[in-house]
Amino acid sequence: MFSVEAEVGNGGRAGVLTTPHGQINTPAFIPVATRAAVRAVLPEAMKELGAQALLANAYHLYLQPGSDIIDEAGGSPFWDGLAGRFFGMNFQDADQFNAIHGNQFIADLMPKHPVYVAMLSESARSAIGVPHPSGRAAMRMLEEEGFAFEGYIDIFDGGPTMTARTDQVRSIAEARCDTVIRTDSTGGERALIATGRLSGFRCCYGLREAAEDGVVIDQQAADLLGVEPGDTVWSVAR
């Protein structure tokens, strides 16, 4: 639940976000902790910096094989067959160390000369470029967006690392820039609509209708973005 405590004329406001784990005073500095940790920064340090919360992507945590899967499989085949031989730590310890301290230790300890695939065990070779079963849907989503597997793999499990040229990403290549001519659309196509740059960037899901001299968006989207007729927006169908 969010309650507004104060407002100013330009649309700014201060409030309190109440969650099952406590209250967060806004505006707030909330770091992104992709795997429930901010890399290279200890939780105690984040608290000292005044962070009231951490944003963690639960889907990324879901993709990580848990201790039950690792134990059942006897460890990560790729890690055990390659990286584990250079680091002296098992997959679970390495993953935890990476989440807290970052992955620079991998670059420091891995050999600087090529490692021949033929020297790896069969189980390690079979893991190269193969996504975890729970990550295949995410891989397909990235492929639809223009990402591709180009031979780069994850050092931990040998899975594919997806890459893309910026101008070939679907959301960028198909985006169009238009002038808002009206804000009364009720039957347009669903689209991501955005305005502004950097700290002023805002984006929402709304309706758009292409017109001869611009675009018509719905009023709710206009209110969320803070735009009116005459302003410029970017949009891409979704």
- Please write the tens of the pLDDT for every residue from 169-182: 988 899 999 999 99
Q: Are residues 210 and 132 in the same domain?
A: no
21 is catalytic: no
Q: Are residues 14 and 100 in the same domain?
A: no
Average pLDDT over residues 65-80: 59
Our count of domains for the chain comes to: 3
Q: Are residues 70 and 55 in the same domain?
A: no
Domain boundary among 143, 168, 193: 168
Q: What is the distance between the alpha carbons of residues 212 and 87, in angstroms, rounded to a whole number?
A: 62
pLDDT of residue 69: 44
Q: Are residues 147 and 72 in the same domain?
A: yes
Domain boundary among 44, 60, 76: 60
pLDDT band (50, 70, 90) for residue 71: very low
Q: Is the pLDDT of residue 215 over 90?
A: yes
Distances (CA, A) of 112 to 60, 106, 108, 115, 146: 30, 11, 9, 9, 31
Q: Are residues 69 and 152 in the same domain?
A: yes
Is this structure's pTM higher than 0.75? no
Q: Are residues 100 and 164 in the same domain?
A: yes
Q: Are residues 162 and 74 in the same domain?
A: yes
pLDDT band (50, 70, 90) for residue 70: very low
Q: Are residues 70 and 159 in the same domain?
A: yes
> What range defines the domain where residue 30 resides?
2-60
Residues 6+ positions from 89 with CB-CB distance below 8 Å = 97
The tens digit of pLDDT for each residue in 111-122 reads: 788 888 888 888
Q: Which long-range contacts (C-beta less than 8 Å, at least 24 apart) are formed by 144-152?
A: 144/170, 145/169, 145/170, 145/171, 146/170, 146/173
Q: Are residues 68 and 158 in the same domain?
A: yes
Q: Are residues 68 and 164 in the same domain?
A: yes
Q: Are residues 76 and 56 in the same domain?
A: no
- What's the CATH code of the domain at 221? 2.40.40.20
pLDDT of residue 52: 83
Average pLDDT over residues 131-155: 86
Domain boundary among 139, 168, 197: 168
